[in-house]
Structure 1
């Protein structure tokens, strides 16, 4: 009589981190509904932590699977699509009527398109770049700016800018602009010390000013791809002209 294959419990571990990402996304939604906007934003950061761990744990334990990849995408649309969109709408969009609804809806819809495209293209995509802004980066970008708008009264009077930023980053998610993924990051030996110093400086900034530091880093990341793409187009036209 043939023995049934044994179930290896280690396969559950990465999916537990994915489930935790969904759970914290739901907690963020609940916090937004109750008007605890800064808490909701930080919970999106916590979802990002779990989202980063699930793939790494799967690779370390050799438990990567098609199920895990699909589960991760479904988790992302909740934690980094619906949760930040509702945070955006309840914090800034509700007073703008249909424009606020449209900004939140476009963020979710284009985030879903971004995830679907990534799932289709990932086998043929360069491992060092993302095509379009990754949805976790877009979600954290919105979340950290909500924190700043909450903390600084001078900003809170201009919440409409958040809607414009949300629409812009939604469009960048479905663009063909390349963004670094940092999944495979190689440095020449002479640059290792400089990179270490830079990393310590960034960590110090985040320790002293966590919200402001993350806002600066995420804004630079979002702008980096757009500016580089514009520069590439301009130099190509100049060369052809």
Structure 2
């Protein structure tokens, strides 16, 4: 029995909602409503998470859906956070602010294009390069943190950190994808404890806690890469000595 055609439309409706909220975020940022613009990026993240899960649950995954999702991501997680960053902070710093915002979108687009052409070849447990939604959440959470402070220094720090975050999107550094988590009994208990601690941190320090969590995830990739490189170097030099 064939599936109703409406089932194939359902995941794409959530993708379209992600684009819609991304556009509204840009409009709100242009009007100086930075907090609202940041939360709209988080709402786009929810829609983005739902479209793929619904497609897998209804077994309606398609090439069209994959391409549509990438186009949605470049708007919701590329253009929207870039414009939020520029209108809130970057406009004060002239060409540097423009450059950071532009490179964020360009590198995000490269990251998505590379993901689309290599998805079938990659280990599903890792991402190659920082995922663009994570980079967008970093900007949105940082925007909320800057919004709760009048410090111009904090804004410049966020703007400056966004550039290496954008570069991480096009790097070969590996990040855990959490797509396949072994939820056996011991792992389930550890996961529950970890999520409880995360929720508590965000409850106590909403903006600060969220920025810290995202920043730790971003740092995990380079730290892991350095550790793996050092271990390989030790093995190579160890073989040469023997």
| TM-score normalised by the chain length of structure 1 | 0.93
| Aligned counterpart in structure 1 of residue 13 of structure 2, from 11, 16, 19 | 16
Aligned to 2:35: 38
Aligned to 1:223: 219
Whether 1:198 and 2:194 are equivalent positions in the alignment is yes
Aligned to 1:56: 53
Aligned to 1:162: 158
User: Structure 1: any 5+ residue segments left out of the alignment?
Assistant: none
1:31-110 to 2 correspondences below 5 Å: 31-110=28-107
Distance 2:62 2:190 in 1: 37
Distance 2:20 2:45 in 1: 12
Distance 1:50 1:190 in 2: 31
Aligned to 1:233: 229
Tell which deviates more after alignment, 211-220 or 133-142. 211-220
**How many correspondences in the alignment?**
236
Distance 1:62 1:97 in 2: 48
Given that 1:150 and 1:156 are in contact with CA atoms closer than 8 Å, whether structure 2 keeps it comes out as no
- Note the alpha carbon deviations across 1:161-211, whole angstroms, 9 max, x for none: 222211101100000000011111114432322221221121222233332
User: Structure 2: any 5+ residue segments left out of the alignment?
Assistant: 238-242
Tell which deviates more after alignment, 192-201 or 224-233. 192-201
